[in-house]
Amino acid sequence: GAGVSQTPSNKVTEKGKYVELRCDPISGHTALYWYRQSLGQGPEFLIYFQGTGAADDSGLPNDRFFAVRPEGSVSTLKIQRTERGDSAVYLCASSRVKTSRVNYEQYFGPGTRLTVT
C-alpha cells in the first residue's frame, strides 16, 4: 500500500509569507504526527492528532504555527508570517493506535523542505 505522502517536497517562501504543508497518512492510521528537523538534529515533535483532534500541541513553537485534520485523514500544517528560523524539513508520520498497551511504530513521509528567504 501507499506510504505517507507530503506535499510540496520543497517550498521556498519569503519572510512574512503564509505557507501550508500537507500530509496524507497511511490509510487506516488514526494517529498523525508532525515533526520538524533541522540539519544535524533529530526530529523535533510539533503536534499529535488522534483522529480529528489535536491531542497534544505542546511542541508548536508559537502561535504562528497551526495544524488541522478536519476529517481525520489528511492534515495541513499552517505557518503564518514565516521567519528565517522556520527553515527546516517538516516531517509527517502516522501510526496505528489500538486500545491495547502497544506503542506502534510511526511511519514517516519524505518531508517538506521549507526555506524562508
Chosen residue from 89, 90, 114, 116 binding another protein by CB under 8 A: 89
- The CB-of-109 to another protein minimum distance in angstroms stands at 7
Chosen residue from 14, 63, 71, 105 binding another protein by CB under 8 A: 105
Output 19 or 89, the one with its CB closest to another protein.
89
Contact 109, 93 (CB under 8 A): yes
- Count of chain residues binding another protein (CB under 8 A): 30
Stretch that binds another protein, among 17-25, 64-72, 75-83, 97-105 (CB under 8 A): 97-105
- The CB-of-36 to another protein minimum distance in angstroms stands at 12
Q: Binding to another protein (CB under 8 A): which residues in 7-66?
A: 31, 33, 35, 40-45, 48, 50, 55-56, 59
Residue 54 is placed in which grid cell? Answer: 489535536
